[in-house]
Every structure is written in structure tokens, then in C-alpha cells.
Chain A
Amino acid sequence: MDITFNNVSYIYQENSPFAHKAIEDLTFHIPSGSFVAVIGHTGSGKSTLIQHLNGLAMPTRGEVTIGDFHLKAKEKPKNMRELRSKVGVVFQYPEHQLFEETVAKDIAFGPENFGVEKAVIEERISEIIPAVGLSKEILERSPFDLSGGQMRRVAIAGVMAVQPEVLVLDEPTAGLDPRGQKEMLEMFYELHKKQGLTTVLVTHSMEDALKYADQVIILNQGKKYMEGNPVHVFTQKDALHKVQLDVPESVAFLSKFEARFKKSLPFRGQTVDEMAEDILRVVQGGGIDE
């Protein structure tokens, strides 16, 4: 589903002394089927943005369009329930939301609420379990007997069981160890491709944004600060540093290399081995351009 923000602002407690503008005049477009990374500091408006994607927050001004759904100020769409079945949100530490007696019941909770038939739910569960990297044996166990990583996968299975078309991920790898982080993102990327999802990933990791995203949106103090494909955004080191964000390490290293060798070796999305080739060429080339 296409997602469009048109001059969207959101103000907490408007017309009160506590009024606070969480997002301001935000405009962007996410084409259906793309993978978008949203980056920004704590307090930059990322969470408020996410809440607009399934109607948890309604714009104070402007309009949000998700597929055929329109969210406007003071105009609650009649089909909010349907929107929420189309937009799956994996919040931070989603394992804290598990509550049922068994894994199977917990996964079924979402689709049951959307009126999906029992037989269909069971079918979905048997497809989702391997897709999120779990085995069928755990279905009858209590979710609270599982490891942290497994619990998170159960929570994600619950979101996927509703079969959303848009998947929103709010720092989904926080608290996992490096291998767990990598496996989790690979899993989301597989789901994204196989199911043709539109994926919105909120992250602090420039490395992950570079690796998976087609488009990057950088927020700063509630406003859109930068937007574009990862290579374009991440090569603007000075602009990023200005809002105290870092560039991915590979980009940082190449830019230091350029300064030291006085040669042009821009980042253009190379893999590490291509980068090593480029560097070797310069190192062994002899001679320096003054």
C-alpha cells in the first residue's frame, strides 16, 4: 500500500500551556512495496509518525493516506478497524505484550479479533511459525517459558497472523545480541520480499538502513531533515553531523581515506570486498594528487 504524508503536523495538548509539537509539516511518499528506514534521535518524532500509520494518532493538521484510507484532523475514518488489520505494528520490546497461556493462543489473539475463522487461523499459524524461525513444538508451551529472542518471535508471529500489507517495525532488534539482531533483520527482509510488504523500519543503526532500505527518511525535532536513497543520504556527512547523527562506518572510513590520500574514492554502495579493491588500487598506485 502506498503511504503519503501531506503537510502533517501533530500537536500534543493543543491550546493548552503544555502544547507540544511532535511532528511539524511532514510531507513524504512511500511507494507500495518499498522498504523505508526512519532515523532520528529520541524525541525527533519517530514514534508519533508511526502512530499515524494505523490511526493511533490523527493528524492535527494535514492528511495521511495509506492505500485507500484517509486520516485527517477531526475526521475519524469509519473503517479504522480495517486499516488496523492492514497495518501491522511491531512495537519496541513486543515480547512484553505477550499474555496468553500458550504460544498458539497468543498468536491467534490478533486474527480472532479481526474475525478470522478458526480453521484459517490455524492454517496461518502453521505457515508463520517457520517463517519467524520457530518450531511447531513450542505452540502448546507457555510463551513465558521461552528465551527472550523466542518470545519476541512469537509476538511478531502474532502481528503477521493478521496478514498485514504494511509492516511497521519500531527498533525491532533492541536488546538482542549481534547474531540475534542480524537474524531478526534477515527474517523481516525475507517476509518483506516474499509477501510484497511495504515495510517501515525505525532504527538507530545506519548500517542496517544502508543494508536493507530503499529509502531513508531522517527526522530532526519533528521535521523531515533529509530524504532519499541510502547512498545519497549517507554520503552527506556534514549535514548528518550537524544534527549529531553518524554516517555508517564504511562511509566514515572512506571519507577519512580520501582526506589522507587526497584522492577521490566516494562511497557508492560498494561491498567490503569492492571497497578493499578500490583502496588497494590507490595504495599501490603510487603518486599523490596534490
Chain B
Amino acid sequence: MREKLIEFRNVSFRYREEHPWVLKNCSFEIYEDESIAIIGHNGSGKSTIAKLINGLLFPQEGEILIAGKPVTEETIWDIRKDVGMVFQNPDNQFVGTTVQDDVAFGMENRGIPREDMISRIEDSLTAVGMQEYHLTEPHRLSGGQKQRVAIAGVLAVSPKVLILDEATAMLDPKGRTEIMKTVTQVQAKNNLSLITITHDLHEVVQSNRVIVMNQGEIWDEATPREIFAKKRALREIGLDVPFVAILADELQEQGLVLSKEPLNHEELLEELWTLHSTT
């Protein structure tokens, strides 16, 4: 049996009593080793979910369980060991004067012994491909490199789940590719669940499951393939679909019959080739 890592039970949240609900009666489960993408328009409640998971915010209604423990004022320090977060702006989360100091910061807060720290710094920087830069000052790094150091800082405290809250949004395409590669490698090596909150369709396609948020509610929860098959509806709630899905749609409109919703170029090409060979 796969273990439930995160569980939302009828969670509702609003910032103030007179304000509208940001999350409305949300329930979902995330399992060990899963890779989940949360998508939705700005203001749909995506980031609120992330902040509720590690107790930066608390819900007014419902309950949140992390590895079976309810998130409360008393449990947040334990829970934050299990939940690592990387935010959008690389410049807002660098606290150390060098790369290795920055990675050490989280461990210092948890009182991890020095010898242990040294090996963990080395391991986590190696995992994100930044070991050569351990003495570099942050302002000499690119945005992508800064985010990789942020990920290393999270890995050093060996969490069970890594949450990327639009962590690639401020990076250029090269930086984005860097981060996605790093994350895939890290996830393969460690027993780590991944939650990425994103607008980037490539990140969505790479996940096992997608949770689509719309105006504070869970609009859908399915595999990327199932989600992107609902192109029209997705666009109506302000989201994008990959180019290959749009092209597939157009081909079908013009009479072509496809056996499944293609997720990438290769799948569509394969299908076209099969059709071609049988005509």
C-alpha cells in the first residue's frame, strides 16, 4: 500500500472574516513518491494550498494531515522537517553570504551536528550540481543557480516532500530547464514527493497527476493526458494547453481519428505515422 503523505479534508480558508473564501471545501490526497502539478489562474488558491501544507497559514475549516499528523501550532516544527519549499523569487530566499552557508542555514536551525552538516552540504550541493560553487557569493550566481542552491538547502534537511511554488517563473528558459532537470534527478535518487505549482506546461506534462484549481475550488484532478483532453474547458478557466494538444484538436476537427490525446510531439508523430502507413 502506498502511504498517504498529504491529506486535505474539507479545507476552507480565508484571510479575514469579511473577506471571500480563498479555498472552498478542498479535499485531496497526495501519496509517497508522487509527482503532482497544481495549476490554476492567478488567485485560484494554488499558493494558499502550499502555505497550508507547511503551516504558514491555518484553515478555518477542515483538517490537514501530513504523514498522518494534523497540522497545528504544536506540530508545525516537526512538519516543516518533512515539507521543504522553494518560492518564486531567487533573491528573496538567499540568507547566507556563500553558497555553503546558505545550505547550512536550515540545518543550523534544526541543530544538526557540524560533522553531519558538512557531509550533508556536500551531498545536497552535488545533487543539484552546484558543489563547485560552495564558496561563491550569491550575487555571482544566475537565477537558475540560486534556485538550485535553494533546492539544496531544502534537500539538506531530508524532507519527504518538496514543494516548488512557481520556482521557475522568474527564470529564463535555460534556467527553467536547469531546474527541471535537477528536480527530476533529485526525485529519482531520494524518496521524495514533488508538488509543483506552475503555469509551465512542460512541468505539468512531466507530473503523474494534476490538480486544477479554479476560484478556490478543485476543478479537476487527473493525469496530464486526461486534463489536456479537456482543452476548451481549460481555456475557459484561463489556462493554457500545450501546442501539440491544440494541433491534435485541429487535426481531429478536420476528420482525423486519434486513438489517444497526445502529450508530446513524439506521441502525435507516432500516431500520424501509423495512420499514414495504413492508408
Contact = CB atoms under 8 A, between A and B. Distances in A.
Contacts of B233: none
Given A280-B254, A286-B279, A148 B42 contact: yes
Interface string B11-41: 0000000000000000000000000000001
A280 B275 CA distance: 10
Interface in B230-279: 238-240, 242-244, 246-247, 250-251, 253-256, 265-266, 268-269, 272-273, 275-276, 279
B175 interface: yes
B272 A147 contact: no
Nearest to A205: B173
A286 B269 CA distance: 15
A206 B188 CA distance: 31
A261 interface: yes
A179 to B, nearest CB: 4
Nearest to A280: B254
A180 B246 contact: no
B172 interface: yes
Interface residues of A, number: 36
A148 B47 CA distance: 14
Contacts of B170: 174-175
Contact of B243 (A43, A149, A249, A284): A249
B243 A253 contact: yes
A149 B42 contact: yes
B169 interface: yes
Contacts of A283: 256, 272, 275-276, 279
Contact of B251 (A148, A174, A244, A276): A276
A245 B41 CA distance: 28
Nearest to B234: A178
Nearest to B200: A178
Given A149-B42, A174-B169, A272-B247, A260 B273 contact: yes
Contacts of B238: 177-180
Interface string B155-187: 000000000000001101111000000000000
Interface size class of B (residues with CB under 8 A): 35 or more
B220 to A, nearest CB: 16
Contacts of A282: 276
Interface string A119-153: 00000000000000000000000000001110000
Nearest to B248: A276
A250 B88 CA distance: 29
B240 A178 contact: yes
Interface in A245-278: 245-246, 249-250, 252-253, 256-257, 260-261, 272-273, 275-277
A277 B173 CA distance: 31
Contacts of A279: 247, 251, 272
A129 B240 CA distance: 27
Given A272-B250, A277-B254, A286-B276, A257 B269 contact: yes
B153 interface: no
A253 B265 contact: yes
A148 to B, nearest CB: 7
B96 interface: no
A176 B42 contact: yes
A84 interface: no
Given A250-B243, A272-B247, A286-B279, A179 B41 contact: yes
Given A42-B143, A252-B265, A279-B251, A177 B244 contact: no
* Nearest 6 A/B pairs, CB to CB: A179-B238, A178-B240, A249-B243, A276-B250, A177-B42, A283-B276
Interface of A: 41-43, 147-149, 174-180, 204, 244-246, 249-250, 252-253, 256-257, 260-261, 272-273, 275-277, 279-280, 282-284, 286
Given A204-B172, A280-B254, 9 more contacts: A42-B143, A177-B42, A177-B238, A177-B239, A180-B42, A276-B251, A276-B254, A279-B247, A279-B272
